[in-house]
Chains A and B, each alone.
Chain A
Amino acid sequence: MKKAIYTLLFPLAAYIILLLHADYLHAVAEGDMFIGGQAFFEETLRTPGGFWTWIGCFLTQFFTYPWLGALILVAIWTATYIMLTDAFRLKGWHSLLAWIPLFALLVSVIDIGYWLYYIMMPGYWFSQSVSFFAAVLTTWIIVRLVRLVWNKDIAWIVFIIVYFAMMQQFPVFHHRNYENHLLQLPFIVAPVSVVLLSLIRLVKWQPRSKWATEITTFTALAVFSITAYLLSFRNANFHAEIRMQSALEAFEWDKVIEEAQAAKNPTNLMVVFKNIALMHTDRMPEMFKINNCGSMPETGDSLIVRTAQIAGPLVYYYFGQINYAYRRAMENNVQYRLQARNMKMMARCAIMNHEFDLAAKYLTILSKSTFNKSWVREYEPMLRFADNLHKSKDFQFIAPLLNEDINTLDIDNSMPVQWILNHFADLINTKNRKQDNIALCTSLWVKDEYAFCIQFYNYSKNYPGEPTPELYQQAALLLGRSEDSPINLDNFPFDQLILDRFDHFNSDYASMSNMGIPLKEIGTRMRDVYGDTYWWYYYFGDFKAY
């Protein structure tokens, strides 16, 4: 009984650690793809280590329910542990060491962070553990059979042979000109520690008492668990981006805005997500009231991440750029690995483009996976009846952004956000209020004074007599009254409160500037009072698309 408890202690800790990364695990399931049937099986088998990849892909989809995927993973590790202790005849505290390879595999699942978007090995999150398990299982079977006739400890030799016979693909973390070798460490630690298990019996030390044994056990397990947790990628923005992305995909705009409000120092992508949510709730003129200054993501290494790979398709789609969303989803699927998230995006794009045969293809493929059937059932009716499409949330939110009659040839240089901002800031012939707001707000976002003036002129012309949103008045005060301005705002009815606040802003700014305070420091001091204004963003805010 006690042995069983000891055996389950580390799996329990590993399970808890995995569940602490539940949002990430769900993203893993969306970032991988399994397709039932022979075609996918044969296709996967053509690649080195294809069989393990295929099993890995099959099991990775269980992370759709993080508790379930984590349970399966931990069960595989537990079975591996049991076989290792038996094959290597580990008893007492020696058996604790059999957790080392599994500790390494646990770390390999939760330490990759932004590599989630760049790793080129489908099914990575399970394939390594499954192939390791298979090597141990084979070793165990051979050792057991050999023991019937020859009572020698040959497990380590058998393991080396089996392991190298089975391993066909060593994970590589390479993107552009950068390669992270540290992330490969678990895959060296795991097999090497198994081989070393044979030597541990040479260490004759034993805990002196029962209590000492228990303390050793608990201490070792605590060290494993805490170290694994500390080695996991826990960057708050990384996890917030994942949650925001899931919320966007589910049209849960409020959740996205709440995440943005809770973030102290959001990434630029989080800012984009926030503005998408504001845009689709007709609150885009509030964009500068919620932090619009973002930072580059902290990847923990020298990996340079790009929006194009993290959320390019999603960002394009929610700005109504269907072709570009489709292209990015396709490119990411090809360049990195097949992903359910991209496949869904390609289906959604095909539906919005009325390419129903293409959409049917993607929906059929998605229906061959285990957990995407309900998603397919939601979208499939849109192919058959236009009414279903027109009632859908996709159509409701995206259709107002489509300018069917305006087609241009362009290149985004792998910078979706920059392209979108420039595209909308320069958009002429807007079709509705949503587009007018986007055009105005993006011109402010990129601080394009001329574009703002043109858009503001159009806006005033399109909505005469309506109250002008506070943001546009703030911007007009700042940008529209300069000598170079192409518009004349002499008779524009600005709100007195905004005029007064602008005067205060100018006088505060001037007094601090006259005192010789550096610009950055002025920005910090003025943020509490004016951080919600466009003026503050214009002078002190920074947004750099990546």
Chain B
Amino acid sequence: MQHTKAVLLTLVLTLVLIACGRPEVPDSYQTESRPPKIMPDYTDVTIPANICPLNFRVFESGKQVVARISVDDLQYTYGNKMKVLFDEEEWNMLLERAKGGKMKVEVFVDEGHQWKAYQPFSIYVAKDDIDPYISYRLIQPAYVAYSDLTIAQRNLTNYDESDIYSNTLVATPKIGQCINCHSYQNYRTDHMMFHMREGLPGTMIVEGKQLKKVNLKTPEIISAGVYPAWHPTQNLIAYSTNLIGQTFHTKDVAKVEVQDKESDLILYDVSKDEVFTISNDSNELETFPTWSADGNTLYYCSAHFEYKNGSSEDAEIIDSYKNLHYNIYARDFDQQTRAFSERRIIFDAASQNKSATLPRVSPDGKYLVFSLGNFGCFHVWHPEADIWLLNLETLETQNLEALNSDRSDSYPSFSSNGRWIMTDSRRDDSNYTRPYIAYFDTDGNCHKAFELPQRDPEFYTLFLRSYNRPEFMTEPVSITPEQFAIEAKKDAKNVKYVTAPTH
């Protein structure tokens, strides 16, 4: 009996050891003078010290991979067929040790008849942390159709993702609901908003623990609020108002052109439920407002377009799609009187035959990032679109090459400490946007970007949704999806249009 027990125990222990066993680096191998092809491409990227493990897949011919990760004398090996999946605890130890330095990654691939060792690569670990959360809308990159949409939040220190709101809570096969443009005040979630369109329409506003749904459309303005920007300190939201249309390229790989037929800017007072016009020049297409960190300046984009007969005609603006060039402008904002100054140009993209969109200002107020394309305002569909940096002190610009790719890169944003820039990129496959994050050091240099890590490195290949409007957050949203759904079912409160204050 005791003998049987001993045999069983040995067997169990053996099995446990096998299960927990680490792959071993081969004794002999052929060397390859290049780094391995891995997906996502984490070679020589710079990452924050509080990021979850960067699991990856090796895209070389072979049946088994062994990766040795080392920081000084601390080293671990991993390998699961062709995937490298880190242990989270060990990963955190590696991060801690490598902070301000780097990890060395050596990859060995079993090709069946022999092992091959690839040129090692590094993963640099910055001293600066990243905001622990980001949020994004998950949407299939369709054009007109949509079905279930989610605004989700993701913990960057692990892989946890949860819904902030999902339209499946209220939408039915008969009445769909589109949700979009989530936005936060100064990276916090106690003041946030998002829009709902079609079914149960309105703009959902969070003020502390209070929820309200408002209708921002008044007869005086061309549409309800669209692209938002919360004032960093005051209970105010700047919006663009847009009449948006879509047309489809017969051949161009960009496939679709999204254009504003008309667009203006408004300011919404969240406390008083009042709106007034900031800018509504009929020869200007104003859009994409964003505040400076101190709240004294409103930046936005505008393209000059004059309709020949004075009224907006679809065909006219569609035919002119390549001639729509957006510049970046600024207006000073008096926080006491809430009056805006006249506009001044910050970046003249039109003079370079380019179009600048989606500006965001760094928290220290020194820089502004934006997307630069050849024309138009919807750069997520423009393969040539890249993220550029504007130094607000010198007004010099530079292409953030380390962040960009040869496919669409748009929707840039700064983390709350200004050390990380996130972009929505289509570099993986040209159609599905994924968040990429790059380190932006104190000297204003951008380092190679890394893709938002997932537990399964094959995730992005199999995932059929785009990450839309990725935004940094310093905390998770505390309102539950169900609470939003209850408010969504209520009637929206109409806002009042008032005259804009003047100096």
Q: Which residues of A contact B (CB under 8 A)?
A: 35, 37-40, 43, 46-48, 120, 172, 174, 179, 321-324, 326-327, 330-335, 338, 353, 355, 357-358, 360-361, 364-365, 368, 402-412, 423
Does B248 lie within 8 Å of A407, measured CB to CB?
no
**Contacts A174-B173, A334-B145, A409-B257 given: A404-B461 contact, CB under 8 Å?**
no
Does residue B147 face the partner (Cβ distance < 8 Å to A)?
Answer: yes
Does A358 lie within 8 Å of B431, measured CB to CB?
yes
Q: Number of residues in B with C-beta < 8 Å to the partner? A: 39
- Which residue of A is nearest B163, CB measured? A46
Does A368 lie within 8 Å of B462, measured CB to CB?
yes
Q: How far is the CA of A38 from the CA of B83 in the complex (A)?
A: 15
B383 to chain A, nearest CB (A): 10
Does residue B274 face the partner (Cβ distance < 8 Å to A)?
Answer: no
- Return the CB mask of B164-177 against A: 1 if under 8 Å, else 0: 00101000111000
Report the tally of A-B residue pairs with Cβ distances under 8 A. Answer: 113
A332 to chain B, nearest CB (A): 8
Q: How far is the CA of A333 from the CA of B431 in the complex (A)?
A: 15
Chain B residue contacts of A39, Cβ below 8 A = 456, 458-459, 462-463
12 A-B pairs whose Cβ atoms sit less than 8 Å apart in the complex: A39-B462, A46-B148, A322-B251, A326-B255, A327-B143, A330-B141, A330-B143, A334-B145, A334-B147, A338-B464, A361-B428, A410-B250
Q: How far is the CA of A326 from the CA of B464 in the complex (A)?
A: 14
Does B247 lie within 8 Å of A410, measured CB to CB?
yes
Chain B residue contacts of A423, Cβ below 8 A = 250
Q: How far is the CA of A364 from the CA of B463 in the complex (A)?
A: 11
Q: How far is the CA of A327 from the CA of B72 in the complex (A)?
A: 52
- Which residue of A is nearest B251, CB measured? A407
- Which residue of B is nearest A353, CB measured? B253
A184 to chain B, nearest CB (A): 12
Contact with A406, one of B143, B250, B256 (Cβ below 8 angstroms): B250
Q: How far is the CA of A335 from the CA of B147 in the complex (A)?
A: 6
Chain A residue contacts of B251, Cβ below 8 A = 322-323, 402-407
Does A174 lie within 8 Å of B174, measured CB to CB?
yes
Does residue B203 face the partner (Cβ distance < 8 Å to A)?
Answer: no
Does B250 lie within 8 Å of A321, measured CB to CB?
yes
Contact with B461, one of A322, A327, A361, A409 (Cβ below 8 angstroms): A361
- The interface centre, meaning the residue of B142, B146, B464 with most chain A CB atoms within 10 A of its CB, is B464
- Which residue of B is nearest A368, CB measured? B462
- The interface centre, meaning the residue of B143, B250, B256, B257 with most chain A CB atoms within 10 A of its CB, is B250
Does residue B316 face the partner (Cβ distance < 8 Å to A)?
Answer: no
- Return the CB mask of B215-258 against A: 1 if under 8 Å, else 0: 00000000000000000000000000000001111111101110
Q: How far is the CA of A334 from the CA of B432 in the complex (A)?
A: 14
Does B248 lie within 8 Å of A48, measured CB to CB?
no
B90 to chain A, nearest CB (A): 22
A77 to chain B, nearest CB (A): 27
Chain A residue contacts of B257, Cβ below 8 A = 409
Does A331 lie within 8 Å of B430, measured CB to CB?
no
A183 to chain B, nearest CB (A): 13
Chain A residue contacts of B430, Cβ below 8 A = 355, 357-358
Contact with A409, one of B140, B141, B145, B247 (Cβ below 8 angstroms): B247
- Which residue of B is nearest A40, CB measured? B462
B160 to chain A, nearest CB (A): 13
A439 to chain B, nearest CB (A): 15
Does residue B339 face the partner (Cβ distance < 8 Å to A)?
Answer: no
Chain A residue contacts of B250, Cβ below 8 A = 321, 323-324, 406-410, 423
Does B462 lie within 8 Å of A364, measured CB to CB?
yes
Does residue B18 face the partner (Cβ distance < 8 Å to A)?
Answer: no
Q: How far is the CA of A408 from the CA of B456 in the complex (A)?
A: 40
Q: How far is the CA of A353 from the CA of B431 in the complex (A)?
A: 12
Does residue B144 face the partner (Cβ distance < 8 Å to A)?
Answer: yes
- Which residue of A is nearest B322, CB measured? A409
Q: How far is the CA of A342 from the CA of B61 in the complex (A)?
A: 30
- Which residue of B is nearest A323, CB measured? B255
Does B141 lie within 8 Å of A407, measured CB to CB?
no
Q: How far is the CA of A37 from the CA of B429 in the complex (A)?
A: 20
Q: How far is the CA of A405 from the CA of B174 in the complex (A)?
A: 42
Chain A residue contacts of B249, Cβ below 8 A = 323, 407-409
A363 to chain B, nearest CB (A): 10
Does residue B91 face the partner (Cβ distance < 8 Å to A)?
Answer: no
Does B248 lie within 8 Å of A323, measured CB to CB?
yes
Q: How far is the CA of A402 from the CA of B321 in the complex (A)?
A: 23
Does residue B318 face the partner (Cβ distance < 8 Å to A)?
Answer: yes
Chain B residue contacts of A406, Cβ below 8 A = 250-251
- Return the CB mask of B85-119 against A: 1 if under 8 Å, else 0: 00000000000000000000000000000000000
A312 to chain B, nearest CB (A): 12
Chain B residue contacts of A361, Cβ below 8 A = 428-429, 432, 461
A338 to chain B, nearest CB (A): 8
A294 to chain B, nearest CB (A): 26
A172 to chain B, nearest CB (A): 5
Does B248 lie within 8 Å of A411, measured CB to CB?
yes
- Which residue of B is nearest A346, CB measured? B431
User: Besides A37-B458, A338-B464, 5 other CB < 8 A contacts?
Assistant: A48-B168, A333-B140, A335-B147, A355-B431, A358-B431
Interface residues in B463-478 (C-beta closer than 8 Å to A): 463-464
Chain B residue contacts of A324, Cβ below 8 A = 248, 250
Contact with B252, one of A174, A321, A323 (Cβ below 8 angstroms): A323
**Contacts A323-B255, A324-B250 given: A335-B145 contact, CB under 8 Å?**
yes
A376 to chain B, nearest CB (A): 13
A379 to chain B, nearest CB (A): 16
- The interface centre, meaning the residue of A48, A120, A357, A423 with most chain B CB atoms within 10 A of its CB, is A357
Does B462 lie within 8 Å of A334, measured CB to CB?
no
- Which residue of B is nearest A357, CB measured? B429
Q: How far is the CA of A431 from the CA of B317 in the complex (A)?
A: 30
- Which residue of A is nearest B141, CB measured? A330
Does A330 lie within 8 Å of B248, measured CB to CB?
no
A38 to chain B, nearest CB (A): 6
Contact with A334, one of B146, B247, B255, B461 (Cβ below 8 angstroms): B146
